[in-house]
Structure 1
Amino acid sequence: MKLEHHKAHQAHGRMERRSFMMLLIVVSLLFLYLLKPFFSPVFWACVITILFYPLYQYLLKHWQRPNLAALTTLVVCILVGVGPTLFLLSSLVKESGELYQLIQSGQINPGEYLDKIRTGFPRVNSLLDRFGIDLSLVKEMLTKSAGTVSRWAASNTLTIGQNMLQFVVSLALMLYLLFFLLRDGPDLISLLIRALPLGDEREALLFKKFAEVTRATVKGNLVVAIIQGSLGGLIFFLLGIKGAVFWGVVMVILSLIPVVGASLIWGPVAIYLFAVGSWEKGLILTLFGAIIIGLVDNLLRPLLVGRDTKLPDYMVLLSTLGGFAIFGMNGFVIGPLVAVLFIAFWQIFILDFNTLPSERDEPDEFLE
């Protein structure tokens, strides 16, 4: 009788634990679903916390006042990041409107640019014919694309104005979260390590990799993108190319993509300059783009991104492109982060489950 009662008690305990775990998962998923509309503010609050946490630690060490240190760090974040970003956005909106007017008035016509390239490089026609490319179709596609881009620019210019309140609310929410993440970050990490059922050492290692990759990816990609976009906008301005600020911002965005990046903008412009006979400007732009802008990508990106993440270049490229495709602008951080966590999980699995005990004393270089 006692044995049967003991078995019934164990069965009831198992059922209670399973029911609790099921409800825990449901409630957690529901909570994450509630946070879905605020994914970007929450995500960037976490990213900026990781970037500026060393500054907070430095201030806290000297002042011994967590609230004041967090508030001061928050002000520095606003001055360093938010202010310049708002300036670039306002400049982008202004020049987008100007380019829209030029396209609508016919002063900018991609079809005419293509005709000038055909005239400047007659051999292009035979080369394209050899590959079965119909230039008339390309011209028509470019004209339609210009109309689509102009309408997109106009509509998004209006949308930015209409959604300014939403942007301000998201920005305020991000800064609000940033303050508390700076002040209470270590306590939250300790709580997560205690709650997650992965083993404290594994969890601490994964959080460490998360912070390292986030810091390296954001600093590396953003530094490279800002430098390349600034250099591209500067050379466009010096050469008298219209919309230098607009194209500079576009090059900043495209420079987040490894390998190709800003060349998608300055390359076609250089070809056009050669085609219309501006050989001097075309040569200057080509040399400046290939040597100066390209050198920034080839030297700084591996040092700032690949070295700290310990990801090969092809993995950085694929994960960044995949991140852009799935998560949009947030993807240049999320993509490499997912790739590194993927490798980290498999390395932990190999070391803990598929390695002989004598081999576990040698830590994997990636996980050090």
Structure 2
Amino acid sequence: MTPVKDRLEHGGFLLFLAFISIGLMLIVSSFMGALLGAVLGALLFQPLFQKLLRRCKGRRNMAAALTLLIITIAVVIPALIITSLVMGQAAEVYDQIRGGQINFALYFGKLHSALPLRLQHWLDSSGFGSFDLVEERVSQAINNSVSLIARQALSIGANAASFLLAFGIGLYVMYFLLRDGEHIGPAILRALPIKPAIASRLAEKFVIVVRATIKGSGLVALAQGSLGAVTFWIVGLPAALLWGMLMVVAALLPAIGPAIVWGPVAVYLLATGAIWQAVVVVFSGMLVIGLVDNILRPLLVGRDTGIPDWMVLVTTLGGIELVGISGIVVGPVVAALFLTGWDILTEQRKVAP
């Protein structure tokens, strides 16, 4: 076989691989979220699987099945219960807004009147033109947000069959990833057209960031959201569980964090004349909820990810914009691989003659 023919056939084979890989991605694109969840779940619960594997004396099928059973009882069922409660509260808030029981424009008007005159004039002369327009836009944004949550609740009920199908596929794939993960991972690394040492380093960074993001950031966010929900319940805020869940999502963002939720809540309470309730929310947000991040995150995450906080924030927001809620993990993972890849290239250039 001539070198030209050999290169041509090799190039044709690589082209075939590219096209067939793109085709496979298109075919499974409808279940991409379920597959991604299966991969992340298998990585996160691999230590649990290994412990059960030792107790099951090497019976991998039984260990994988027990792992899925524990995940279902300890994680999936509570998450579904909480989600249903949150959706119910979102629908109630939406009905109260439509019925006029909650009037954000009125509350903003009260807050505006309570401000110093100089600050009132500055707000009136801002780019919005008048504070009435601010009220209108903010109220519209809040109405749209709550309406979106309510529509999502209805769509989940309408598409229950599709949700259950994707959920079942995710668990099914996770079973095999748990059982055969020790063989699948090395096989993928061997197939990559990258030097084994580099591929191993990138894979190690990938696993570290995924586990840190889910285990560390996820648990910190749940802790902060739970404290926020308790705080809102203490001060008598309607739909405390809903706002606590919103705080969980906000707490996944570094730097900004749960203040996105408890800050406006404190302003809302001030505008409605609930002074002591607002003080409690601010105190809890700054001293209790804020300290959770400083205490738990170093213990659960550490500094192994090696990603600057500003890059985590930007890539998380960008990931959410690009791929939805999965971007919470996808964004930091891409950032970590980007930094690791450039570090490897820099090291190679230093040792090159």
TM range (shorter): over 0.9
Distance, in Å, in 1 between the alignment partners of 2:211 and 2:145 is: 34
How many angstroms apart in 2 are the aligned matches of 1:172 and 1:90? 19
Show structure 2 runs of 5+ residues with no match: none
Aligned to 2:247: 251
Alpha-carbon distance, 1:340 to partner: 0.5
> What corresponds to 2:350 in structure 1?
355
Q: Once the 2 structures are TM-superposed, how far is the Cα of residue 132 of structure 1 from its aligned partner? A: 4.9
Give the TM-score normalised by the residue count of structure 1. Answer: 0.90
Q: What is the deviation of 1:274? A: 2.6
Q: Work out whether residues 216 and 297 of structure 2, in 8 Å CA contact, stay in contact via their aligned partners in 1.
A: yes
Per-residue deviation, 1:15: 1.4
Amino acid of the structure 2 residue aligned with 1:11: V
Tell me the distance in 2 between the aligned counterparts of 1:24 and 1:99: 52
- The reply on whether 1:275 has 2:268 as its aligned counterpart is no
Q: In structure 1, the residue corresponding to 2:28 is in which secondary structure?
A: helix
Give the whole-Å Cα distance in 1 for the aligned partners of 2:21 and 2:265: 51
Counterpart CA distance in 1 for 2:190 and 2:9 is 22
Letter paired with 2:49: Y
Tell me which residue corresponds to 1:58: 51
Note the C-alpha offset of 1:306: 5.6
The residue correspondences of 1:88-103 to structure 2 (distance < 5 A) are 88-103=82-97
- Listed one character per residue, the Cα deviations across residues 306-339 of structure 1 (whole Å, up to 9, x for unaligned) are 6120212222222212212212111111111001
TM normalised by structure 2 equals 0.94
Aligned pairs for 1:58-137 (under 5 A) are 58-63=51-56, 64-123=58-117, 124-129=119-124, 131-133=126-128, 134-137=130-133
8 A contact 2:34–2:166 mirrored in 1: yes
1:355 match: secondary structure: helix
Corresponding residue for residue 21 of structure 1: 14
Query: 1:270·1:286 contact (CA, 8 Å) conserved in 2?
Result: yes
Q: Helix, strand or coil: the match of 2:350?
A: coil
Contact in 2 for aligned 1:306/1:312 (Cα 8 Å): no
Compare 320-329 and 213-222 and name the one that shifted more. Answer: 320-329
Identity score, percent: 37
Q: 1:237 aligns with which of 223, 229, 233?
A: 233
CA–CA distance in structure 2, aligned partners of residues 262 and 14 of structure 1: 56
- Residue 11 (structure 1) aligns with: 4
Q: Deviations over 1:244-299 (max 9, x none)?
A: 01111111111111122221221122123233332211111111111111112234
Which aligned runs of 4 or more in structure 1 are off by greater than 6 angstroms?
none
Report the residue type matching 2:111 in the other structure: I
Q: What SS does structure 1 have at the residue aligned with 2:253?
A: coil
Structure 1 counterpart SS, 2:238: coil
| One-letter code aligned to 1:16 | E
1:158 alignment partner, SS class: helix
Q: In structure 2, what is the Cα distance between the partners aligned to 1:336 and 1:316?
A: 6
Mapped partners of 1:95, 1:131: distance in 2: 35
Give the aligned partner of residue 142 of structure 1.
138
Distance apart, 1:127 and its partner CA: 3.7
Alignment length (residue pairs): 350
Distance 1:141 1:60 in 2: 56
Q: Equivalents in 1 of 2:191, 2:141: separation in Å?
A: 52
Aligned to 1:186: 182
- Match runs of 1:27-46 below 5 Å: 27-46=20-39
Structure 1: give runs of 5+ residues left out of the alignment.
1-5, 359-368
